[in-house]
């Protein structure tokens, strides 16, 4: 009975989010009330986030062979829930003025977050597949939720088709690995060099197909084709969710897979990852140079950032610093991405005006200095400028690359960061130029308390990027506690 109580405590965030889904479905079926559903979602996310304290006190352990809750999963669960809560807050101004059914939007976000929480605790291929599908399927509805947006249908079709293809690659890869090992648990996927050459080829093919699937989810080159179009066609708050919650959850389970299984024993896997990393870094940054749409710029930027993060996977066999470096970088990426996408969401989704060009941001400082300064700080952090937390994250990755002698990826990261500095500065400079009266400016109306909460959230993420850029020790100590 004691073990049962501990297991219930360990899955408390999952239980809270599941109960929230049921309550919201009952609320929608009885009477539609947008404000009530939004309150249920905010309360459910907040309660799930607070419950992580009790989960940490209960220690670590397995909840059936499918899930393993430890410091690693607690850390990434907190990031997933925080980013989902922020996406809900940023989406409120747009959803409040949405002419059709509004309540299901929050239901889809909670369901997708539930999949992300399952994913970060996955210790078995069954839970991994369930988590990815539960994360991805609601996202199809979220991407297409803004049917009044010009590119919404195109974005939905692209994401749905490529998500299905990604799942097919993942299932085939799992089947090939299972054919060799006879196990679906991560702990049982141990490769023995005494096996035949055909058996080795089988397991390498299985792991390669899984990397293709993860490449789609993380939008790594050449599996990135959906990213800029989906970011542009989806509501800005959904782009926030895609860039943060979805990718953090997928990367966390990929890191766990590399540590627990024998995938790290194959040189060809690391060669594939090196090619993906260099291609993602260079292509993501170079393509962002040509964009005039701020959401497409952020989309290509996310491709480059997860190319940077592949350094931690490649170096995982050389140093335990990989876990710490990935945790620090993902926290810095989360603060910067939520801040940048948050400003874009408040500017674009607060009104029925979806002009996303850089010219619409021209002179924003003279009309809304708070949002302009917050966007400036988060862009500096994404660029890795000193005195921001983004600089600490990139310093970790470069140090790890030098320590592991990963010269190709490290040089590509330095070169890519230099390119990225150009298009980040292009956005920043446009904020402070003299306003052009011929352009219709996007300035959210401060008429609602939740919209003010959105402004405060953006300012908070900008402040956190500066505070932890000057004094990063608390996040570093927290990252050092992560052990698998």
Domain boundaries in the chain? 281-484
Percentage of residues in the chain having pLDDT higher than 70: 91
Is the CB of residue 404 less than 8 Å from the CB of residue 412?
no
Residue 448: predicted pLDDT: 41
Q: Average pLDDT over the chain, rounded to whole?
A: 85
Q: Is the pLDDT of residue 450 over 80?
A: no
pLDDT band, very low/low/confident/very high, at 482 (cuts 50, 70, 90): confident
In Å, how far are 347, 364, 379 from 369, measured between CA atoms? 13, 7, 15
Which of 215-219, 221-225, 366-370 is most confident? Answer: 215-219
Q: Is the pLDDT of residue 106 over 80?
A: yes
Residue 197: predicted pLDDT: 57
Supply φ then ψ for residue 164, to 5 degrees. Answer: -65, -45
Q: How far apart are CA 448 and CA 34, in angstroms?
A: 14
Residue 355: predicted pLDDT: 63
In tens, the pLDDT along 41-83 reads: 999 999 999 999 999 888 778 888 888 888 999 999 999 999 9
Residue 13: predicted pLDDT: 92
- Average the pLDDT over 315-325 and give the result: 85
Residue 447: predicted pLDDT: 38
Q: Is the pLDDT of residue 196 over 80?
A: no
In tens, the pLDDT along 399-433 reads: 999 988 889 999 999 999 999 999 999 889 988 88
- Average the pLDDT over 276-293 and give the result: 90
Is the CB of residue 280 less than 8 Å from the CB of residue 304?
yes
More confident residue, 251 or 150: 251
In tens, the pLDDT along 117-131 reads: 999 999 889 999 999
- Average the pLDDT over 91-116 and give the result: 88
Q: Is the pLDDT of residue 22 over 90?
A: yes
In tens, the pLDDT along 254-280 reads: 998 888 877 777 888 888 999 999 999
In tens, the pLDDT along 463-473 reads: 999 999 999 99
pLDDT band, very low/low/confident/very high, at 436 (cuts 50, 70, 90): low
Single pTM value for the model: 0.91
Q: Is the pLDDT of residue 444 over 50?
A: no
Residue 451: predicted pLDDT: 45
Q: Is the pLDDT of residue 353 over 80?
A: no
Q: Is the pLDDT of residue 359 over 80?
A: no
Which residue from 96, 79, 84 is spatially nearest to 35, judged by alpha carbons?
96
- Average the pLDDT over 81-99 and give the result: 87
pLDDT band, very low/low/confident/very high, at 336 (cuts 50, 70, 90): very high
pLDDT band, very low/low/confident/very high, at 437 (cuts 50, 70, 90): low
Q: Is the pLDDT of residue 328 over 50?
A: yes
Residue 454: predicted pLDDT: 77
């Amino acid at each position: 009975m004691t073990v049962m109580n501990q297991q219930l405590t360990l899955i408390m965030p999952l239980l809270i989010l599941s109960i929230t889904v049921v309550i919201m479905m009952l609320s929608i079926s009885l009477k539609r009330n947008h404000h009530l559903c939004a309150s249920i979602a905010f309360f459910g996310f907040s309660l799930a986030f607070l419950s992580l304290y009790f989960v940490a006190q209960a220690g670590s352990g397995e909840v059936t062979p499918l899930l393993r809750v430890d410091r690693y999963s607690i850390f990434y669960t907190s990031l997933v829930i925080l980013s989902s809560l922020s996406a809900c807050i940023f989406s409120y101004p747009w959803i409040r003025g949405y002419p059709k059914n509004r309540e299901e939007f929050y239901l889809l976000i909670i369901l997708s977050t539930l999949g992300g929480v399952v994913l970060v605790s996955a210790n078995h291929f069954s839970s991994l597949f369930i988590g990815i599908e539960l994360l991805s399927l609601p996202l199809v509805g979220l991407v297409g939720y803004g049917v009044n947006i010009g590119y919404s249908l195109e974005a939905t079709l692209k994401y749905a088709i490529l998500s299905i293809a990604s799942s097919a690659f993942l299932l085939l890869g799992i089947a090939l690995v299972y054919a060799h090992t006879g196990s679906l648990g991560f702990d049982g996927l141990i490769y023995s060099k005494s096996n035949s050459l055909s058996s080795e080829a089988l397991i390498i093919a299985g792991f390669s197909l899984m990397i293709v699937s993860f490449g789609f989810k993380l939008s790594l080159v050449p599996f990135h084709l959906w990213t800029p179009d989906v970011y542009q066609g989806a509501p800005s708050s959904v782009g926030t969710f895609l860039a943060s919650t979805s990718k953090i959850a997928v990367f966390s389970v990929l890191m766990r897979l590399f540590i627990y299984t024998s995938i790290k024993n194959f040189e060809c896997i690391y060669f594939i990852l090196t090619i993906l990393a260099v291609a993602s870094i260079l292509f993501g940054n170079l393509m962002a140079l040509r964009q005039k749409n701020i959401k497409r710029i952020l989309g290509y930027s996310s491709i480059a950032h997860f190319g940077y993060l592949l350094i931690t996977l490649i170096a995982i066999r050389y140093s335990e610093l990989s876990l710490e470096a990935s945790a620090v970088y993902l926290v810095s990426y989360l603060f910067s991405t939520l801040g940048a996408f948050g400003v874009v969401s408040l500017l674009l989704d607060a009104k029925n005006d979806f002009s996303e060009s850089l010219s619409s941001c021209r002179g924003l400082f003279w009309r809304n200095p708070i949002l302009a300064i917050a966007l400036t700080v988060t862009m500096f952090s994404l660029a890795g400028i000193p005195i921001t937390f983004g600089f600490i994250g990139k310093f970790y990755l470069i140090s790890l690359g030098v320590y592991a002698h990963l010269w190709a990826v490290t040089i590509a990261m330095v070169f890519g960061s230099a390119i990225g500095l150009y298009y980040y500065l292009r956005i920043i400079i446009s904020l402070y130029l003299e306003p052009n009266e011929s352009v219709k400016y996007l300035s959210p109306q401060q008429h609602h308390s939740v919209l003010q909460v959105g402004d405060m959230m953006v300012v908070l993420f900008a402040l956190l990027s500066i505070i932890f850029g000057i004094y990063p020790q608390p996040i570093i100590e927290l990252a050092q506690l992560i052990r698998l």
